[in-house]
Amino acid sequence: MNLRPAKRPEGRILLTARWLVGHRGGRHVLIENGEIVFEDGAVVFVGHRFSGEIARRIDYGNALIGPGFVDLDALSDLDTTILAYDNQPAWKKGRVWPRSYLDAGPYEMYSREELAFQKKHAFATLIRNGITTALPIASLFYRAWGETPQEFDDAAEASAALGLRTYLGPAYRTGNQVVEVDGRITTHYDEPRGLAELDAAIAFCERHEGAAGGLIRTMLAPDRIETSTAQLLRRTAEAGRALDVPVRLHCCQSKIEYDLVLAQHGMSPPEWLESLGFLNERALLPHGTVVSGSRLVTRPGRDLEIIRDSGAAIVHCPLVSGRHGNAIDHFGRYRDMGLKIGMGTDTSPPDMIMNMQVGMILARTLAGNVAACRSEDYYDPATVGGADALGRSDLGRLQPGARADITVFDLDRPHLGQVIDPIQTMLLAGHGRDFADVIIDGRFVMEDRMIPGVDEAADKARAQSQFEGVMARYPERTHGHPAASEIFSSSYPVERAEARA
Ligand SMILES: [Zn+2]
């Protein structure tokens, strides 16, 4: 396995632009015509008029130099959201395994090469969107069960080759939801299988922690609370402590999940996690939308207080939540409570800027108050918030001693309109694809929107045909096995040229 990232450029490199997001006294500052200098992968200077020697100077002109985004739920999939976007309910549309598929023996719908390709493609797309630290997430719908160490060995190679900073770990589970013939949703458990996957995930962490010159770290990733048994979560928490790695678990994501946990354990998801000793400062919890005190939960409780007091972080993914008719209610309240909040993309497009924009709109809508949140309230969790959730004071901020994970946001793009403050313009009109250059650990991983060794158009075509293959197998995995054309509706009637007789 080759886990050696490219060589760094020699000597000190100075970057300057109209705007620079520096970090002083624990908060971001905007430095007009600022300079940042880095060497050997670390930031050595942020400010004005650097007086030392430099090997190279780049003036980006009308641009914003800032820290890379930290994506705690980073899309590493050919995202299947599009298949369900206008096709609901989920259990009728292949999003929950039917009993017949489970009994026939679930199988991997992608080959090893296809899984390796989609990770490399997804990692490159994250870089294009200014994401410099990624904790991958993918769907398990089309998998035989959990993710495999082999595919994460391949992911580690792709991560090192691209120079992306990642926290890697195969997702595992002891259970899965099943639609019975009569339409009831039950849970099928295979605890020995899930515990064996946990052991393999621990071995993966031991093998890869700190690889690629420290670019690759590891994490434990039990998939979701409703597909986990108590034993799996207890052992995961113990392993997380022993390995000192982040532990990510989807919870408080949907009303169905909340009610399932309540029915099975007599406790809300945070109450159950607390009782298992699962919650601590290593825990990363997407999505935190369905909790006591929110509109969907009538049972009184202290869900958010439990999460906050444990030191766990909520991974906020407003785009995917909003698409499912959900939202944090509301962001300003979570912030004022002192909850730790990081951000995740979790869906396509993996655009952190779009996530911040949607989050800001939902926050103001749910608060019924335009003053409920400001642009910097979202830029913080996407940078320092995510880094702090990982215990990384050297990421998400640009100050001497931090890692040189730097993005260059082009303020000259015509759709951006006028600028009075670069962060406000980003939050009002920016796209994830407005980044021109991305630097990770002192390496230029994207220059002028080009990623070395990546042919974006060819990869897009390959992704489309790979995705069509999984779509063709959807009927096998859908309740009642309807034809694909019945599962996936069209927006308008489709007229096709008739085949010549
Ligand atoms: Zn998610």
DSSP string, 385-404: IHHHHTT-TTSSS-STTSB-
- Rounded distance, CA 81 to CA 449, Å? 26
Higher pLDDT, 385 or 2: 385
Distance 225 CA to ligand 1 centre (A): 12
Distance 286 CA to ligand 1 centre (A): 6
Distance 322 CA to ligand 1 centre (A): 12
| Strand partners for 52 | none
| Strand partners for 29 | 22
Distance 270 CA to ligand 1 centre (A): 17
Higher pLDDT, 185 or 408: 408
C-alpha neighbours within 13 Å on the C-beta side of residue 240:
25
State the pLDDT confidence band at 409, using cuts at 50, 70 and 90: very high
Give 299: exposed, middle or buried? Use CB within 10 Å, 0-12, 13-18, 19+: exposed
Buried b (16+ CB within 10 A) or exposed e, 3-12: bebeebeeeb
Distance 323 CA to ligand 1 centre (A): 12
Give tens-digit pLDDT for 204-246: 999 999 999 999 999 999 999 999 999 999 999 999 999 999 9
Computed from CA positions of residues 249, 254, 256, 262, in that sequence, does the dihedral angle turn out positive or negative? Answer: positive
Domains of the chain (ranges; CATH) run: 8-67+399-454 (2.30.40.10), 68-398 (3.20.20.140)
Cβ neighbours of 455 (radius 10 Å): 11
Distance 320 CA to ligand 1 centre (A): 7
Distance 332 CA to ligand 1 centre (A): 21
**Is pLDDT of 498 > 90?**
no
- What's the maximum distance between 2 C-alpha atoms anywhere in the chain? 78
Average pLDDT of span 39-58: 98
Distance 350 CA to ligand 1 centre (A): 12
| Contact between residue 247 and residue 240 where contact means Cβ atoms under 8 Å apart | yes
Q: 471-478 contacts: CB < 8 A, separation 24 or more?
A: 471/83, 473/109, 473/142, 474/83, 474/94, 475/94, 476/101, 476/104, 477/94, 477/97, 477/98, 477/101, 477/141, 477/142, 478/92, 478/93, 478/94, 478/98
Distance 501 CA to ligand 1 centre (A): 49
**Is pLDDT of 391 > 60?**
yes
Computed from CA positions of residues 135, 141, 142, 145, in that sequence, does the dihedral angle turn out positive or negative? Answer: positive
Query: If DSSP codes are grouped into helix, strand and coil, which group holds residue 31?
Result: strand
Question: What are the tokens at 125?
Answer: 């797309």
Query: If DSSP codes are grouped into helix, strand and coil, which group holds residue 34?
Result: coil
Q: List the Cα angle 448/449/450 in 5-degree steps.
A: 90
Distance of CA 458 to the CA centre of its chain: 24
Specify the pairing of strand 340-343 against strand 185-189: unpaired
C-alpha neighbours within 13 Å on the C-beta side of residue 390:
29
pLDDT at 2: 75
Distance 40 CA to ligand 1 centre (A): 35
- Rounded distance, CA 227 to CA 250, Å? 10
* Residue in 224, 207, 196 with CA at minimum distance from that of residue 290: 224
Give tens-digit pLDDT for 183-210: 999 999 999 999 999 999 999 999 999 9
Q: List the Cα angle 28/30/33 in 5-degree steps.
A: 140
* Residue in 70, 3, 394 with CA at minimum distance from that of residue 208: 3
**Is pLDDT of 501 > 60?**
no
Average pLDDT of span 383-391: 98
| Strand partners for 28 | 23
Distance 278 CA to ligand 1 centre (A): 19
Distance 104 CA to ligand 1 centre (A): 28
Distance 359 CA to ligand 1 centre (A): 15
Number of H helices, E strands in the chain: 17, 23
Specify the pairing of strand 283-286 against strand 313-316: parallel
Distance 276 CA to ligand 1 centre (A): 22
Distance 45 CA to ligand 1 centre (A): 37
pLDDT at 90: 87
Higher pLDDT, 421 or 91: 421
Cβ neighbours of 52 (radius 10 Å): 10
- Rounded distance, CA 84 to CA 95, Å? 8
pLDDT at 307: 98
- Phi-psi region at 151: left, alpha or beta (left = phi > 0; alpha = psi -120 to 50): alpha
Q: Could you list which residues have their CB under 5 Å from ion ligand 1?
A: 286, 346
Amino acid identity of residue 337, one-letter, is M
Higher pLDDT, 90 or 170: 170
Distance 54 CA to ligand 1 centre (A): 44
| Strand partners for 66 | 407
Give tens-digit pLDDT for 445-457: 999 999 999 999 9
* Residue in 440, 448, 352, 435 with CA at minimum distance from that of residue 164: 440
Cβ neighbours of 413 (radius 10 Å): 16
Amino acid identity of residue 192, one-letter, is P
C-alpha neighbours within 13 Å on the C-beta side of residue 72:
36
| Contact between residue 285 and residue 252 where contact means Cβ atoms under 8 Å apart | yes
Question: What are the tokens at 104?
Answer: 């026939």
Average pLDDT of span 281-298: 96
Q: What stretch of H or E contains 20?
A: strand 19-24
